[in-house]
Amino acid sequence: MRNIRPSRRLILVLTAVLVLITGDGGPGAEACSRPTGWKPLTTVEKVLNAPVVLYGRVRAVYPDDRFNYGSTTTVYTANVKVFCVMKGARTEQFLNITEAG
């Protein structure tokens, strides 16, 4: 390389790596689109796939600041009173469910 300061060389290399990672926006770059044929799971499928199924009431909701990406962020911790365990091991009467949203 020419006589470029080390800090500028690092910026050039990082920019090149970023361009290589992000691509040119061509096929396969649509990270937010759903694959062809995708459909959401039904409630029955969710229950069958879940290791634990509880019946309870949310007592309080607290924002999770670890995932604060602006006003549209909806990640929170929920404090739940458990009335019944329908699937899985016994649990405490009060739980905190983290990274909900």
Q: How many domains does the chain have?
A: 1
Q: Tell whether 83 is covered by a domain.
A: yes
Q: Tell whether 46 is covered by a domain.
A: yes
pTM for the full predicted model = 0.55
Query: For residue 42, what pLDDT band results from cuts at 50, 70 and 90?
Result: very high
- Is the pLDDT at 49 greater than 90? The verdict is yes
Query: What domain range includes position 30?
Result: 6-100
What single string gives the DSSP state of each residue in 47-90? Answer: HHH-S-EEEEEEEEEEE-GGG--STT---EEEEEEEEEEEESS-
Query: What average pLDDT does the segment 70-82 reach?
Result: 84
Place of tokens 């309080």: 60
- Is the pLDDT at 91 greater than 50? The verdict is yes
